[in-house]
């Protein structure tokens, strides 16, 4: 039944950004009602939060029923219904369940959805939430060959985890994983892809993503609106194809997809390829290097597009080039009293020389938390400065079972030729790269148990002139921590 509600704070989205924002604001204003509107039945909460060093943080994520949040914060109400309309000038929000909310401050944390290479093709799927991961698993169990498009974190994890199914991995770059590391690190990882699954070592233990215990991890009524998965999204989901033997990964470098055909389209096409030699497959992918592959289906892992649609109509949001809601250094959008955080937003402030936005869950948490503090500061008419976490980009993750730490301009982003690289590599064990400019460390990639993250973070933050140390910086026989104490 339609109803009207006056609420001081409304937050949209039950992912990391929205939940962190809602928790923070609910604890800061215990006598004000806070509403969290979300399309998904479960919310994502941060647990086991650990501040590893000044800017590095680690935590686990747990999907929980919304009642858990409501028990913890009596003034927080979670409403499972997607927002269908926003009238920002009137401070009014309408949910699919018919409820209307009049807010004082609103924070949009609606995340993103997979940027599908080709829309509306039955043989092309993206992975974003529990639903799509389960759909992928189901289809994989009957598949003999899949084509994976994309070179980001999801593609990397996927090609490594799939067993019993041939994987054709098409990337537009010269090396794998170039969103996260350079060609040298890519080379370090290649043997892991070639190793038999049983031989794959487990060099690191990393925070685990805990999946839905209740088994109700499906999206809300609006379809593809579940929360984004995080690291270890494949844990608990067996990624096994229809073949008995172990998987093989074949990488097609520096290519893009020209066309994806269904079987019927392929047979009717005028392609000069000898069709009979390719065998019969449900789908065919034509790459711009001239090759055509038959496959069971295609996984499009080519990034996300911010979920902004329900909010745009009739409003005047400033959108960034990547279609995110542009926010200033107080997480404010261009519409008054509307803030945004997480994957849906694009940082519009002049960033520190050592930070860049990447749509990762660490940043979703940080932005959600900071957005809440900004809303609070605005309400209380207090000043607030950009949080320290935006000083230095840091990310801890795991690829191919190795711990990976990324710091600052880890890939010399935006530095042109004005930088120097130092690399140390022990095959199968560790890969360490530092980026220096003018003798000062501005970034690092640490793969394996290097134990260097804190020291390097300090060196990056204090911008000490390291010219006189030269390559000694990475000398494994020197205890670098002692060196700079
Ligand atoms: P989301 O988690 O997407 O949450 C958005 C929320 O908004 C959802 O609850 C949704 O239901 C709700 N919503 C959407 N539209 C509406 C609406 N109209 N009305 C109401 N509610 C709405 N990051 C890492 O750091 N490391 C990784 O290893 C990693 N791996 C990943 C693997 C996969 C497969 C994917 C998809 C992402 C991965 N990420 C990883 C990225 C990370 O998960 C996201 O950056 C992060 O979760 C974004 O959080 P968010 O809160 O902004 O958005």
Take atom 32 of ligand 1 and give the residue whose Cα is closest. Answer: 230
pLDDT-above-70 percentage for the chain = 90
Query: Per-residue pLDDT for 45 more than 60?
Result: yes
> 260 or 211: which carries more pLDDT confidence?
260
Q: Give dist(CA 146, CA 251) in Å, integer.
A: 12
- Per-residue pLDDT tens over the stretch 17-32: 999 999 999 999 999 9
Query: Per-residue pLDDT for 357 more than 90?
Result: yes
CA-nearest of 163, 234, 147, 149 to 195 is 163
- pTM of the full structure: 0.89
Pocket test for ligand 1, best of 230, 305, 339, 402 (most atoms within 8 A of CB): 230
Q: From ligand 1's centre to the CA of 229, what distance in Å?
A: 6
- Per-residue pLDDT tens over the stretch 374-420: 999 999 999 999 999 999 999 998 888 899 999 999 999 888 888 99
Cβ(3)–Cβ(97) under 8 Å?
Answer: no
- Per-residue pLDDT tens over the stretch 248-305: 899 999 999 999 999 999 999 887 777 888 999 999 999 999 999 999 999 998 888 9
Q: What are phi and psi of 268, to 5 degrees?
A: -90, -10
Tell me if 154 CB under 6 Å of ligand 1: yes
Take atom 38 of ligand 1 and give the residue whose Cα is closest. Answer: 230
- DSSP helix/strand/coil, 130: helix
Cβ(325)–Cβ(174) under 8 Å?
Answer: no
DSSP codes, 340-358: E-GGGEEE-S---TB----
Report the nearest atom of ligand 1 relative to the CA of 96.
Answer: 19
pLDDT of residue 212: 37
Tell me if 408 CB under 6 Å of ligand 1: no
pLDDT band of residue 104 (cuts 50, 70, 90) is: very high
Report the nearest atom of ligand 1 relative to the CA of 368.
Answer: 51
Query: Per-residue pLDDT for 199 more than 80?
Result: no
And the tokens for 114? Answer: 């997979």
Tell me if 306 CB under 6 Å of ligand 1: no
Query: Per-residue pLDDT for 205 more than 50?
Result: no
Q: From ligand 1's centre to the CA of 161, what distance in Å?
A: 21
pLDDT of residue 193: 81
- DSSP helix/strand/coil, 107: strand
Tell me if 168 CB under 6 Å of ligand 1: no
pLDDT of residue 196: 63
Return the ∠ at Cα 306 (arms to 304 and 309), rounded to 5°. Answer: 130
pLDDT of residue 52: 87
> 243 or 308: which carries more pLDDT confidence?
308
- Per-residue pLDDT tens over the stretch 305-346: 999 999 999 999 999 999 999 999 999 999 999 999 999 999
Tell me what ipTM this predicted complex has: 0.98
141 exposed, middle or buried (CB, 10 Å; 0-12, 13-18, 19+)? middle
């Amino acid at each position: 039944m339609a109803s009207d509600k006056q609420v001081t704070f409304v937050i949209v989205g039950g992912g990391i950004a929205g939940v962190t924002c809602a928790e923070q604001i609910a604890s800061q204003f215990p006598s004000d009602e806070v509403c969290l509107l979300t399309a998904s039945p479960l919310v994502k909460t941060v647990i086991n939060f650990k501040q590893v060093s000044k800017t590095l943080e680690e935590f686990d994520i747990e999907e929980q029923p919304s009642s858990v949040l409501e028990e913890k914060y009596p003034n927080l109400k979670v409403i499972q219904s997607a927002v269908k309309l926003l009238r920002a000038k009137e401070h009014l929000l309408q949910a699919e369940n018919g409820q209307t909310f009049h807010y004082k401050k609103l924070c949009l944390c609606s995340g993103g959805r997979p940027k599908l290479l080709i829309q509306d093709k039955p043989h092309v799927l993206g992975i974003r939430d529990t639903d799509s991961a389960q759909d992928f698993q189901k289809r994989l169990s009957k598949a003999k060959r899949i084509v994976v498009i994309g070179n980001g974190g999801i593609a990397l994890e996927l090609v490594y985890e799939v067993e019993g199914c041939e994987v054709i991995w098409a990337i537009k770059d010269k090396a794998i994983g170039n969103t996260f590391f350079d060609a040298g690190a890519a080379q370090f990882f290649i043997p892991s892809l070639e190793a038999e699954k049983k031989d794959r070592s487990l060099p690191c233990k990393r925070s685990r993503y805990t999946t839905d215990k209740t088994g109700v991890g499906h999206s809300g009524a609006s379809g593809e609106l579940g929360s984004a998965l995080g690291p270890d999204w494949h844990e608990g989901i067996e990624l096994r194809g229809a073949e008995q033997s172990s998987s093989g990964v074949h990488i097609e470098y520096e290519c893009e997809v020209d066309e994806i055909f269904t079987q019927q389209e392929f047979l009717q096409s005028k392609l000069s390829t000898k069709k009979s030699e390719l065998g019969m497959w449900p789908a065919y992918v034509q790459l711009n290097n001239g090759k055509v592959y038959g496959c069971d289906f295609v996984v499009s892992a080519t990034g996300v597009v911010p979920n902004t649609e329900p909010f745009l109509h009739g409003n005047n949001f400033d959108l960034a080039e990547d279609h995110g809601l542009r926010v200033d250094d107080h997480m404010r959008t261009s519409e008054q009293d509307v803030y945004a955080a997480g994957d849906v937003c694009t940082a519009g402030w002049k960033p520190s020389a050592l930070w860049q936005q990447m749509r990762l869950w660490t940043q979703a948490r940080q932005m959600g938390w900071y957005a809440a503090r900004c809303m609070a500061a605005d309400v209380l008419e207090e000043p607030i400065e950009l949080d320290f976490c935006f000083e230095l980009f840091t990310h801890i993750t795991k690829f191919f079972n190795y711990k990976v730490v990324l710091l600052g301009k880890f890939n010399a982003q935006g530095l042109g030729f004005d930088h120097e690289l130092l690399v140390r590599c022990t095959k199968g064990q560790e890969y360490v790269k530092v980026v220096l400019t003018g003798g000062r460390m501005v970034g690092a990639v640490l793969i394996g148990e290097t134990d260097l993250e804190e020291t390097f973070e300090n060196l990056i933050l204090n911008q000490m002139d390291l010219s006189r140390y030269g390559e000694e910086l990475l000398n494994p026989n020197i205890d670098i921590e002692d060196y700079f104490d």
